[in-house]
Structure 1
Amino acid sequence: MLALSRKKNEAIIINNNIQVTVLEIRGDQVKLGIAAPKEIPIYREEVYLQIQAENKRATDVANIDELNKLL
């Protein structure tokens, strides 16, 4: 993991087309702004993990359905 220090209104650039800017710092919270192409999905980690879990469940159910068809 790369760890960087940034101040309010400072940014980092990722892959030449994603800009992450520190918008606000309040106590232990940091508000970030992310500018990226529309085709790049951006999720909070907890939402991303929920999506991944749901996709795994859907795949597991599909695999069970395929097994049942074979039996």
Structure 2
Amino acid sequence: MLALSRKKNEAIIINNNIEITVLDIRGDQIKLGISAPKEVPIYRKEVYIQIQDENKNATDVAGIDALKKLL
């Protein structure tokens, strides 16, 4: 993991096309702005994990067995 220090209104660039800017800092909360191409999905980590779990559940063994019966 790369750890960087940034102040309000400072940014970092990732892969030449993603810019993350520190918009505001209040206590222990930081507001970030993210500029990226529309084809780049951006999720909060807890939402991303939930999506991954749902995808995993959709392809569980019971679902595969049901597909095998159809074939």
Aligned residues between the structures: 69
**1:8 corresponding residue in structure 2:** 8
* CA shift for structure 1 position 30: 0.3
Identify unmatched segments of 5+ residues in structure 1.
Answer: none
- TM-score by length of structure 2 reads 0.91
In structure 1, what is the Cα distance between the partners aligned to 2:25 and 2:65? Answer: 48
**1:32 corresponding residue in structure 2:** 32
Following TM superposition, the consecutive aligned residue runs of length 4 or more in structure 1 with deviations greater than 4 angstroms are: none
- TM-score by length of structure 1 reads 0.91
Q: CA RMSD, aligned part only?
A: 1.3
Map 1:1-71; keep pairs closer than 5 Å: 1-60=1-60, 61-67=62-68, 69=69
* CA shift for structure 1 position 64: 3.0
Residue type of the alignment partner of 1:63: I
In structure 2, what is the Cα distance between the partners aligned to 1:25 and 1:64? Answer: 51
Residue type of the alignment partner of 1:57: N
* CA shift for structure 1 position 9: 0.2
